[in-house]
Structure 1
Amino acid sequence: MSTELSVTRYIAAPPAKVWDVMANRQNEWWCPTPWRAEVDEQDRRPGGICRMTMYGPDGEVMPQNGIYLAYDEGRRFASTDAVVDDLQPNGPFMIGIWEIAPEGEGTRYTATARHWSAETCKQHEEMGFTDGWSACADQLAAICEEEA
């Protein structure tokens, strides 16, 4: 079984616009409504801290702490929850990769989750990966296309 899940979307907006929203306005698209996300801290470089908190409609609070593995301005960023804060190991769940590429008059957005095992991949899929990450991609696309 594969250990990778992904969603992709064509966004009818130029790559510069998609990157700006993707990287700088995560609180507007990062998790499916009615949930919301707040960026707590970001040090946008490999090894830099990446902290966000997701808030649910019923008072749920889900911290997402990790580090960036890659940060290629205008193209992609990747983070993992396997390492937190000052390079402290953490129970790993996945590596997330969010990337864009020019496609025709618009942009191809791809979000990928790579897991350490088939079991955690299956667990993520059963948690609603496809619906959740697709909703986020739709939210990102809607912002970018409305403002393009």
Structure 2
Amino acid sequence: MHELTVTRLINASPETVYRVWTTRTQEWFAPKPYTTPRLEFDLRPGGRSWMEMQAPDGTLHPHEGVFLEVVPNRKIVTTDAFAPGWVPQGPFMVSIFTFEPEGSGTRYTAVVRHWREEDKKTHEEMGFEAGWGQVCDQLAELAERN
């Protein structure tokens, strides 16, 4: 597998982390100083996953895909291999987000699987570890305050 992973132990219940993930996404999804000004989620298998991240210079980075699996409070799987209606598009990754109880908190894990080694390397060069790590920290901060 051409896989990249980040994980955090978050001092909040899986239900709280999931709720923040799904309802306050625009507040944590982009590594600061990037923002997520527009977002549309239809949280069901086949539902649309669409967002725009905005760079500090105003450049927009759209990302569209579909949800493959949604298990409330436990797991969300998305891919950019399809647009809504199962329309194929150039795939880059499948993302698997899990919310597992651990002690009094949640083990949050984001796994990103790429079709090709070159895509994985590109994602690493884009700053996957730092960017997705920062995003995990932002999610944790919001969840731990709620």
1:118 aligns with 2:117: yes
Q: CA deviation at 1:42?
A: 1.7
The answer to whether the Cα contact below 8 Å between 2:33 and 2:55 also exists between their aligned partners in 1 is yes
Q: Which residue of 2 aligns with 1:83?
A: 82
Q: Which residue of 2 aligns with 1:137?
A: 136
The answer to whether the Cα contact below 8 Å between 1:100 and 1:108 also exists between their aligned partners in 2 is yes
Offset from partner CA, 1:78-119 (integer Å, 9 cap, x none): 111110132211110000111110000111000011000111
Counterparts of 1:1-148 in structure 2 under 5 Å? Answer: 2-147=1-146
Secondary structure in 2 aligned to 1:33? coil
Structure 1: stretches of 5+ with no match in the other structure: none
**TM-score for both structures, normalised by structure 2:** 0.95
Secondary structure in 1 aligned to 2:136? helix
Equivalent residue pairs, number: 146
Secondary structure in 2 aligned to 1:18? helix
Letter in 1 for 2:119: T
Q: CA deviation at 1:35?
A: 0.6
The answer to whether the Cα contact below 8 Å between 2:46 and 2:84 also exists between their aligned partners in 1 is no
Structure 2: stretches of 5+ with no match in the other structure: none
The answer to whether the Cα contact below 8 Å between 1:79 and 1:96 also exists between their aligned partners in 2 is yes
What's the C-alpha RMSD, in Å, of the aligned pairs?
Answer: 1.1
The answer to whether the Cα contact below 8 Å between 1:26 and 1:39 also exists between their aligned partners in 2 is no
Letter in 1 for 2:3: E
Letter in 1 for 2:9: Y
* Percent of matched pairs sharing the same residue: 45
Letter in 2 for 1:145: E
Secondary structure in 2 aligned to 1:4? strand
Could you tell me how far apart the structure 2 residues matched to 1:34 and 1:142 are?
16
